[in-house]
Structure 1
Amino acid sequence: MLEASSLSFRYSAKGPWIFRDVSVRAAAGQVFAVLGPNARGKTTMLKCLAGITRPVAGSVATTGGVGYVPQSHSVVFSFSVLDIVLMGRARTVKIYSTPTAADREAAREALHRVGVSHLADRDYTGLSGGERQLVLIARALVCDCDTIVLDEPAAALDLRNQAQVLTVLRALADEGLAVVMTTHHPDHALHVAEQSMLMVSADDQRIGPTRELLTSALLSEMYGVPIVTADVETPSATRRLTVPDFGRGIS
């Protein structure tokens, strides 16, 4: 669904490389997670993959539309949830026209798809963080995308809302979408992603199956803090978790 070849980016001709010569492939029916420390270029990478930012070198090819969900979103005016989702239909609405009944039906279907159809008439500014995130996912879906790209979709959410967002993303992949997401939580990648990328440095990006890639050694190296992994029995399944050893400080 989405394939990037030899992507490179820096902000000026003589500036330092943010990342260089990165090739990734996000397949239909899979979740691809991107992890790395702050300021390592995850958001920039995501915007290049979504077609929002032009890379200095390299190319991105897709076999269908790409929907983008930013890390945060605010509005100046009060809009209903349905109107926020309708904004995702902008490319299908002709100039000087208004959304049609079919556009509104598509927006309601997208809200239903992520489990928040009951919020359609609510004021968007009055929603919780988790509800807003699901509405933004619906806004991306309503553009009939085959790939959805999300920047830290579970950031700043409580545990229940994290679980809800991750469940929706896993379900979308199971429906056949390619899902690409950044995250600061290795546990989230281990829970939903088949493939992951660790952005260790501008010239060091490691890609592979999530459970093989997210090891104690590699995570500790990347984040500069000792991290251990452990398999834990939960009521639903055996889960692999990561535990940072904050008591030993940072390197």
Structure 2
Amino acid sequence: MGLIVENLTFGYRCFPVLKGVDFSVEKGNLVCMLGKNGAGKSTLFRCILGLLKGYHGKIMADGVDLRTLKEKELARKIAYIPQNHDQAFAFSVLDMVMMGTTSSLQGLKSPGREQRETAFDALKTMRIEAMAERSYAHLSGGEQQLVLIARAIAQQAGILIMDEPCANLDYGNQARVMEELKRLAGEGYLIVQSTHSPDQAFLYADQAAVLSDGVIKAFGKPEEVLTESLLETMYGITVRLFDAGDTGRKLCMPDRVKGE
């Protein structure tokens, strides 16, 4: 089972943002959510995460209506991974990941041996256990992003929501993070991430979703639904799609005017 969004509507005061969003996806998939700035991707994610309460429609995870869940119960279903996370204190990597285990604690109880083992297992899942005692603040942007993913894994949620996880990373770290996300999806996680890069969807995603005018305009395999005409309409520029060698995937680039 996975995530189902049915007729989701939400607006800020008199300004409608989501006007009837519908999609469903099973676990074991990496979904890239595309849309121009202001399309409502972050608003959609905030509704899914329970941060915005005033929506209409239904959001279900593993067959359970998220409105019926308490905060800790929701945290065991869905984890959020931000773009970055600045720390004022010099937490170790292991301490950062242990923060993801708080949903398993009762009351004000502090993390103990069990939570430490869970956190270390998450580091091993991300293949970064060698960083456990390093200072999170001294890691590169790509390394920090992998630690934040490990923290979400330690939360033991099967659905991971990511808002532009590669936005502040260099090209190499973008590729490393996307490869890890693809691997996690192959291990059974459902990962929904927003991105402004059609190529990330083409190269890594199992499913692509296009959010425009408050609804899902397209949902399916990237090579089938991300057409030149759709991307041109969404971004307001002319683009060309190319076959990526013998991979069966495509690549996207702006179609520059001759002479420029």
- TM-score, shorter chain, exceeding 0.5: yes
The answer as to whether partners of 2:28 and 2:187 remain within 8 angstroms in 1 is yes
Do the aligned partners of 1:200 and 1:206 also contact (CA within 8 Å) in 2?
no
After TM superposition, the structure 1 = structure 2 runs for residues 1-251 of structure 1, keeping only pairs within 5 Å, are 1-12=2-13, 14=14, 16-63=15-62, 65-203=77-215, 205-233=217-245, 237-245=247-255
Cα distance between partner residues in 1 of 2:228 and 2:107: 53
Q: Which runs of 5+ in 1 are unaligned?
A: none
Cα distance between partner residues in 2 of 1:58 and 1:115: 39
Residue type matched to 1:240 in 2? K
In the alignment, is the contact (CA less than 8 A) between 1:88 and 1:142 conserved in 2? yes
| Structure 2: unaligned runs, 5 residues or longer | 63-75
Give the total of aligned pairs.
Answer: 244
Query: For residues 122 and 83 of structure 1, what CA distance do their matches in structure 2 show?
Result: 10
1:239 shift after superposition: 3.5
- Kept in 1, the 8 Å contact 2:47–2:55? The answer is no
- Go from structure 1 to structure 2 and tell me whether the alpha carbon gap of 1:221 and 1:172 turns closer, same or farther (over 3 Å shift): same
Q: Kindly provide the amino acid, as one letter, of the partner of residue 4 in structure 1.
A: V
The one-letter code of the counterpart of 1:2 is L
**Amino acid across the alignment from 1:7:** L
Deviations 1:151-197 (A, max 9, x none): 11111211221111111111111111111111111110111212211
Aligned CA RMSD, in angstroms, stands at 1.7
Q: Distance in 2 between matches of 1:53 and 1:139?
A: 23
TM-score by length of 1: 0.91
Cα deviation, residue 209, structure 1: 2.2
> Which residue in the other structure is 2:66 paired with?
none
Report sequence identity in percent.
36
8 A contact 2:141–2:169 mirrored in 1: yes
Tell whether the 8 Å contact from 1:7 to 1:55 is kept in structure 2 after alignment.
no
Q: Cα distance, 1:75 vs. partner?
A: 1.9
Report the secondary structure of 2:102's partner residue. helix
Q: Is the 8 A contact 2:120 2:132 kept in 1?
A: yes
The whole-number CA distance in structure 2 between the counterparts of 1:34 and 1:204 is: 10
Q: Deviations over 1:41-91 (max 9, x none)?
A: 111111222333225211111116111111232222221111111111111
Cα distance between partner residues in 1 of 2:28 and 2:222: 15
